[in-house]
A = this chain, B = another copy of it.
Amino acid sequence: MSGRNEIKPPAKPASIKDIARLAKVSHSTVSRALHNHPLVNAKTAERIRQLARKHGYRPSAAARSLVTQRSFTIGVVVTTISDPFVAGVVGGIEEIAAAHGFSVFLANSNADPEQEVRVVQSFDERRVDGIVVTSSRVGALYVPVLSRRQVPIVLLNNQHPSQFAYSVVINSTQGASDVTAHLIELGHRRIAFLGDEFGRQSDTERLAGYREALTQAEIPFNRHYIVHGDGKAEGAITAMGKLLALPQRPTAVVCYNDMSALGAMHCIHGAGFTIPGDISLVGFDDLHMSQYLNPPLTTIRQPMHEMGRLAMQTLIAILSGVISQQNFTVPGQLIVRASTAPPRKEP
């Protein structure tokens, strides 16, 4: 927090009064002309607009929002923008925001509570009109802001949903169930689950979906087949190692997400096994790269871009006073690729 000192101001841009002086009218008239207000003479208005264009006049958003009490900005908090899923979501948010004249503030929290507090303060000072929180573990932390300033908050795939906020979530249970069912249909019975120890809500739900499919097929649950990584490739490698060390190895693994599947894939290949020959592998997300992996990954597609769009559309609806649905659950779609196949025949 240093360095906010001794900073020199840039050149001053043209103000509405400058334009007024040039047009020989009051600044009120200029304001009205630029807003196409009907109460200003058509010819004068056109003359003013031309002058404004000529001098590259841009109204100050700060001054405007001071009087209108609306900033036309929203804040987006993410754990890290380097996560490809998060980046996809942010892309969707930004697209809709821009189309409606909103600018978006992006802030990384790095899952650091102290940093999250700073982000909230920053958004508060900026008087953002709304907030989207993606994949955070502490979305609830943002609720105080909401209660004080009535700023609508949309939680996207939050790990700790609050009933006081709006939300957009993937149907984790259904997705995990579908992908597990797909493996069962192929003939697998020794199916493991590689979760994310940090993914509270979604990990629980995906595990539930996995178990649901097992139950449905009357396959007994084996607790040794449940291991946990960190939702990234690194943690998945260790976790996958544990599965490979089991006396009776699984013939298929359901991974928490595609990045975990990538790590697991790396581990499996490193140990000299083949996919899907020795082990079938599935992910969750359908990241852009997943279709090009070797082998291409079977997974549950999470429409990240659309989810981002939906979050922003919800925000705009709320701000427009439209009564919006509180909670959206979007379905995942099973994408079958070459990383899954029937298990090898028992010798």
Contact = CB atoms under 8 A, between A and B. Distances in A.
Contact of A81 (B2, B81, B124, B293): B81
21 contacts: A3-B100, A3-B101, A4-B100, A8-B320, A9-B68, A9-B69, A10-B129, A10-B149, A11-B150, A60-B127, A63-B66, A81-B87, A81-B94, A82-B88, A84-B87, A90-B106, A98-B122, A103-B126, A106-B106, A262-B289, A294-B294
A124 B58 contact: yes
A219 interface: no
Contact of A70 (B9, B108, B127): B9
A11 B129 CA distance: 11
Interface string A26-59: 0000000000000000000000000000001011
A321 B125 contact: no
Interface of A: 1-4, 6-13, 56, 58-63, 65-66, 68-73, 76, 80-82, 84, 87-88, 90-91, 94-95, 98-101, 103-108, 115, 118-119, 121-122, 124-127, 129, 148-151, 233, 259, 262-263, 265-266, 269, 288-289, 292-294, 296, 316, 319-321
Contact of A69 (B10, B87, B103, B288): B10
Contacts of A58: 121, 124-125
B91 A81 contact: yes
Contacts of A76: 106
Contacts of A122: 98, 103
Given A3-B100, A4-B100, A265-B292, A13 B149 contact: yes
